[in-house]
Each structure stands twice: as C-alpha cells, then as structure tokens.
Amino acid sequence: MKALVYQGPGQKDWVEKEKPAIEKPTDVIVKITKTTICGTDLHILKGDVPAVTPGRTLGHEGVGVVEAVGDAVANFKPGDAVLISCVTSCGKCANCKRSLYAHCEDGGWILGHLIDGTQAEYVRIPHGDNSLYPIPEGADEEALVMLSDIMPTGFEIGVQYGHVKPGDTIAIVGAGPVGMSVLLTSQFYSPGRIVMIDMDPARLALARQFGATDTIQVGTEDAVAKIMEMTDGRGVDVAIEAVGVPATFDTCQKIVSAGGNIANVGVHGTPVELHIEELWIKNINISMGLVNTNTTPMLLKTLGSGKVDPSKLVTHRFKLDEMMDAYEVFGNAAREKAMKVILSA
Ligand SMILES: NC(=O)c1ccc[n+]([C@@H]2O[C@H](COP(=O)([O-])OP(=O)(O)OC[C@H]3O[C@@H](n4cnc5c(N)ncnc54)[C@H](O)[C@@H]3O)[C@@H](O)[C@H]2O)c1
Ligand SMILES: [Zn+2]
Ligand SMILES: [Zn+2]
C-alpha cells in the first residue's frame, strides 16, 4: 500500500509500505476512504515533535471501511463504515473511566505520532471498539472527517473549558481550522458577540460567513485596544487562544474581563509569561488541555440534525495519491486560501 511517511525534519515521501495487519485481538484494520492534513502534521515535519521517528506514517484524522477485526472486537465487522478518532482509548483504564481519553493508559494521541497513522491506504486502529464510531447512514463523509480532531478540539478545549454561555462576548484568537471549529461550536450556546482575531483577511472574511459578529486584523489593528473599545473597557467573558504562541496567549490575558475565562487550545513549544500579578484580582479561570474526543458522539448528533455543518471548512480536494500536492497547498495555507484539504481514495 501507499503511505505518507515522515523521513526526518523537513522530509516526507509518499512511499510503498507494508499493509498493516491485526497485532492484538482488540485491533481493527480500516481501509481509508477520506483523510486530511492537520497543522500538527506540519509541526511534526518541522521537527517540533521529536517523539515522531523517521519511518512513521503521519495522519490522525479520517473515515474508512473496516477491512478486518481482531477476535475481541465486538462493535464492528468487515464492511462497516467508520469515523476514526484522533485519540485512541481502551475504555477500561482509570483515565478512560472518567472520560479522560487523551490520557488513556494504553492510548491517547498515538496515531501518526507513536504508531502509523491515517495518511495511507490502510491503518491499524488499536482498541477499535472504543476508538472508532459507526458512520450514520447517508452522513456527509467530508463533514465527518472534521469530527476526528478539530471539531472536538474546538468544542471541548475552547468552548466547554471556556464555559461559553448565552449572551457572552467571546474572542477567538486564531482563525485556523481549530479556531473556526471553536467559532462553529460556540454557537450551540448563543454567545451575544463573537470576535475573531487573526492577521489573514481571507480567514477573517470566512469567519464572518461562519457567524463571527466582529473581526480584528492583527498587524493593521491593535487587538487589545479594539476589544476594550468594543466592551466599554470591560473585556471579554471568554478569551480563546487557538494559535499556540506567547503573543496570542498574552492577548488573551489582556482582554479577559473580571470573572472571565481564558481557554488555551493552542499547542505551545515555548513558555509564556503569566501575569498573575494582574489576573489574581480579576477572578479568572485559565484552562488548557489535549482533546479527549469524549464529545464525539454528541457532535455526531449535531451533524445529523443539521445544527452544525463543518464541511464548509473544506476548501481543497485531492485524490489520496496526490498527497504530496495536498501538503504543498496546506503548507502554504495563506497563499492558497486553504482551510482544510480532503484526500479521497
Ligand atoms: N489542544 C489540543 O488538543 C489541540 C488539538 C489540535 C490542534 N491544537 C493546536 O491548535 C492550534 C491551532 O491549530 P490550527 O490547525 O487551527 O492552526 P493554524 O496554524 O492553521 O491556524 C493558526 C491561525 O493563527 C493565526 N495567527 C498566527 N499568529 C497570530 C497572531 N500573532 N495573532 C493572531 N492570529 C495569529 C494564523 O494566521 C492562522 O490563521 C495549534 O497550536 C494546534 O497545534 C491543539
Ligand atoms: Zn490534529
Ligand atoms: Zn484507557
């Protein structure tokens, strides 16, 4: 089979590789029908995630059809259409028992990280019963791919951890696929005002189409001053960081109102300066975390009922074997006006 393999920092290739086989009775082999590329894959390619070793197949998102199941798999059989979660979980360990799947003792984020991932013709999914979801009849497969990672990430770590409430004024810093997922899922709770902050005018225009009431273009506008002006000096009820650099965390510290929440979603590679001397007196909550994907069943229902349509995040489409071209487009997202790319077998 073919797979997108990490060959060390800055190097990747679409190569012939051995098809995965059942290794444990709880494994499921899935034939990929649709997959995508995540900003995290670009981080890996830069060499930012040293746990990923040369030879690893990348990718942690996708949908497919079950090819084979181990003897202990009860929920799936060959031919079933499935959604692959970016987080693998056994469902039995102490952390899984409290829905902290990201910290499963025999799983977590391992796909395309510690084991071979989904940017391939076939993938082996450990603990298939708990790490795959049946695809509802007639569901939009492109929309479903957004449920592998970015939608639960935006919803759990941005919206739920940030305690977004009806009427709230919220700010989302970063209008990438994750920030856009926060934007879409925050609307379940009817915030009064949603301010999107980014430097890319094309992404901000898209954010307005998806429900942002206000946008601020960093670089030409002072985000902190503008937020304070918009809120009569109060600040926002929820400041959501969806970039992963010190500057954007700092913006969140400066724009959060008394009694507010800072929900950090971005993956940070360097320390940030925490202004506890200013925040302590404002009764602020600060949250952060790795997506658990415990809300995937709920998000599947909202998709089925038409309450949310993540397929609108898809801007580019490729055949699976055009993987290298898809990386070229996604790796130059601003130039190509790309949000999410879909690769179809
Ligand atoms: N917590 C989790 O479980 C989890 C899961 C998935 C992704 N992530 C992280 O979420 C973050 C966002 O992911 P993504 O795929 O949307 O990334 P992305 O790189 O596609 O988007 C980031 C956006 O931030 C904007 N930006 C950059 N610098 C900025 C600045 N100084 N001010 C305002 N905007 C700025 C960029 O223009 C871009 O639109 C990443 O750090 C990613 O690793 C976290
Ligand atoms: Zn991802
Ligand atoms: Zn577990």
pLDDT in tens, 226-282: 999 999 999 999 999 999 999 999 999 999 999 999 999 999 888 999 999 999 999
Domains of the chain: 2-149+292-344 (3.90.180.10), 153-288 (3.40.50.720)
Q: Quote the pLDDT of residue 324.
A: 98
Indicate if ligand 1 lies below 6 Å from the C-beta of 207: no
Say if ligand 1 is within 6 A of residue 87 CB.
no
Query: How far is residue 289's CA from residue 19's CA, in Å, rounded to a whole number?
Result: 33
* Residue that is written with structure tokens 């798999």 in the block: 73
- Answer yes or no: are the C-beta atoms of 6 and 44 closer than 8 Å: yes
pLDDT above 90 covers a percentage of the chain that reads 97
- Average pLDDT over the chain reads 97
Among the bound ligands, name the one nearest to the CA of residue 130: 3
Above 90 in pLDDT, residue 137?
no
Which are the contacts of 6, defined by CB distance < 8 A and separation ≥ 6? 12, 44, 45, 52, 53, 54, 55, 56, 57, 58
Per-residue model confidence (pLDDT) at position 138: 86
How many Cα neighbours within 13 Å face the side chain of 43? 18
Quickly state the pLDDT bin for 128 (edges 50, 70, 90): very high
Helical pair 223-230 and 246-255, crossing angle rounded to 10 deg:
20
User: Phi and psi of 229, rounded to 5°?
Assistant: -65, -45
* CA dihedral over 280, 282, 285, 287, signed as positive or negative: negative
107 lines ligand 1 (CB under 6 A): no
Strand bridging mode 62-69 / 81-84: antiparallel
For residue 164, the CA-to-ligand 2 centroid distance in Å is 23
Residues 69-82 pLDDT 10s? 999 999 999 999 99
Residue 331 Cα to ligand 2 midpoint, Å, equals 14
Q: For 27-50, what is each residue's pLDDT tens digit? A: 999 999 999 999 999 989 998 899
Instruction: Give the span between the Cα atoms of 41 and 55, in whole angstroms.
Output: 14
Residue 338, CA atoms < 13 Å, CB-side half-sphere: 21
User: CA of 284: how far to CAs of 82, 83, 172, 191, 254, in Å?
Assistant: 40, 37, 17, 19, 12
Quote the tokens at residue 60. 């942690």
Could you tell me if the CB of 179 is within 6 A of ligand 1? yes
The pTM for the full model equals 0.97
Half-sphere exposure of 153 (CA within 13 A, CB side): 27
The values of phi and psi at residue 344, to 5°, are -115, 135
Name the residue at shortest CA distance from atom 20 of ligand 1: 176
pLDDT value, residue 325: 98
> Is the CB of 338 within 6 Å of ligand 1?
no
Give the model confidence (pLDDT) of 310-319 as tens digits. Answer: 999 999 999 9
